[in-house]
């Protein structure tokens, strides 16, 4: 049996998948299949799932799908009950109080799904170590496959490493859970730039980052990961194409308090600029205000660091361009926002 494992489609990653799906009996979707995760985008998220993703899954009636939401799939928290999944889709609900609702069995494979972080009813994600540990404690032993939107942090591997900032983003709590529960296969995503070669824990668990979309515009995608399942001595064994070459590693960095503040501010500015430019290109001149409304705080955060961090000067210039675009009814583009830590 063949399995297709994918994550982080962000609405554009469906392109080119059909030929892979047709050859597989099971498709694992590890979250972020929508791109409209913020408050003002829930309606678009629901509509995309209803009008595009759900019919796409239904167009392969002989293929089973196991779907876990990610942090961009906020419909899962707000309006999941509106989605009527086709018969060939198993939606593993992270809001379900009973862990059984996050478990399914397909073709003899026991599968469990966990979101990037546990959801909390009432509109907010919880993400503290205590909350994560509590949620991960519910993951049962004896699994064949664990679908997790978040990657684990595994020493010696970069599957969780953000290639643009060269910093590890994985969860050590999830790693300890994997060691305890010992699933045979873990598929994850969330970190688009993470190394897509498989990692192998000391207990033999294979972990692979299957994020599909690599860049912020969805123009660069990875080759989907197809996994063969064989029964050997009564146990399911997962085989995939051999990963060639030495996996480059680098030590996790510990950013300073100033760097953390600048990085958070840069992230908001980056997303605000992306929204403005996208809507300039579309010609509707109506960017999402979620991040734009935070830019006064961004300027106040960045200003004290302008003398010591050259990139901050660029960020302040981009904030001026945002103000100019606002004055022109959002008809002006904003220049590129370099990621903090990149050379300019």
Query: In whole numbers, what is the pLDDT of the chain averaged over residues?
Result: 83
User: Is the full-model pTM beyond 0.85?
Assistant: no
- The larger pLDDT score, comparing residue 306 to residue 168, is at 306
Q: What pLDDT is attached to residue 246?
A: 44
Confidence class for position 106, pLDDT limits 50, 70, 90: confident
Instruction: Please state which of the ranges 29-43, 71-85, 257-271 shows the lowest mean pLDDT.
Output: 29-43
Q: What pLDDT is attached to residue 170?
A: 84
Q: What pLDDT is attached to residue 65?
A: 96
Query: 301-334 burial, b for 16+ CB within 10 Å, e for fewer?
Result: bbeebeeebebbebbbebbebbeebeeeebebeb
Q: Is the pLDDT of residue 119 over 60?
A: no
Provide the edge-to-edge strand list for the sheet that holds 26-30: 89-91, 64-68, 26-30, 2-6, 225-232, 235-239
Q: Identify the sign of the CA torsion 184, 187, 193, 196.
A: positive
Q: Is the pLDDT of residue 249 over 80?
A: no
Instruction: Please state which of the ranges 80-89, 249-258, 259-268 shows the lowest mean pLDDT.
Output: 249-258
Q: What pLDDT is attached to residue 333?
A: 94
As a whole number of Å, the CA-based R_g of the chain is 21
CA distances from 207 to 10, 121, 143, 150, 186 (A): 22, 30, 13, 11, 5
Q: Determine the topology of domain 2-239 in CATH.
A: Purple Acid Phosphatase; chain A, domain 2 (3.60.21)
Per cent of the chain over pLDDT 70 is 84
Q: Where are the alpha helices (DSSP H) in the chain?
A: 18-22, 42-48, 54-58, 75-78, 129-136, 172-181, 257-282, 289-292, 295-302, 310-327
User: Other C-beta atoms within 10 Å of 342: how many?
Assistant: 10
As beta bridge partners, residue 167 has: 162
Confidence class for position 314, pLDDT limits 50, 70, 90: very high
Q: What pLDDT is attached to residue 23?
A: 92
Q: What pLDDT is attached to residue 310?
A: 85
Spell out the domain ranges in the chain.
Answer: 2-239, 257-327
Q: Is the pLDDT of residue 118 over 80?
A: no
Residue whose structure tokens are 């049962």: 140
């Amino acid at each position: 049996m063949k399995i297709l494992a994918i994550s982080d489609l962000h609405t554009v990653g469906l392109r080119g998948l059909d030929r892979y799906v047709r050859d597989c009996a099971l498709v694992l979707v590890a979250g972020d299949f929508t791109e409209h995760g913020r408050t003002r985008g829930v309606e678009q998220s629901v509509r995309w799932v209803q009008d595009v993703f759900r019919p796409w899954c239904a167009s392969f009636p002989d293929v089973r799908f196991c779907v876990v939401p990610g942090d961009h799939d906020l419909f899962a928290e707000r309006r999941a009950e509106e989605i009527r999944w086709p018969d060939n889709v198993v939606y593993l609900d992270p809001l379900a109080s009973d862990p059984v609702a996050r478990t399914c069995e397909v073709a003899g494979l026991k599968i469990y799904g966990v979101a990037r972080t546990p959801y909390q009813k009432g509109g907010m994600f919880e993400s503290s170590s205590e909350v994560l540990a509590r949620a991960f404690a519910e993951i049962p032993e004896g699994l064949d496959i664990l679908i997790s939107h978040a990657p684990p942090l595994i020493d010696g591997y970069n599957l969780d490493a953000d290639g643009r900032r060269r910093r590890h983003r994985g969860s050590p709590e999830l790693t300890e859970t994997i060691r305890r529960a010992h699933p045979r296969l873990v598929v994850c995503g969330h970190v688009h730039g993470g190394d897509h070669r498989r990692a192998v824990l000391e207990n033999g668990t294979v972990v692979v980052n299957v994020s599909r979309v690599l860049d912020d515009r969805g123009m660069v995608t990875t080759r989907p990961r197809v996994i063969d399942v064989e029964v050997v001595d009564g146990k399911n064994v997962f085989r995939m194409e051999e990963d060639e070459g030495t996996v480059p590693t680098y030590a996790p960095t510990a950013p300073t308090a100033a760097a953390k503040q600048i990085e958070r501010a840069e992230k908001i500015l980056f997303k605000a600029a992306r929204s403005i430019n996208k809507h300039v290109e579309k010609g509707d001149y109506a960017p999402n205000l979620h991040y734009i409304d935070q830019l006064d705080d961004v300027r106040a955060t960045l200003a004290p660091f302008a003398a010591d961090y050259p990139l901050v000067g660029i960020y302040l210039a981009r904030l001026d361009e945002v103000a100019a675009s606002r004055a022109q009814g959002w008809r002006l583009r904003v220049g590129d926002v370099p990621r903090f830590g990149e050379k300019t």
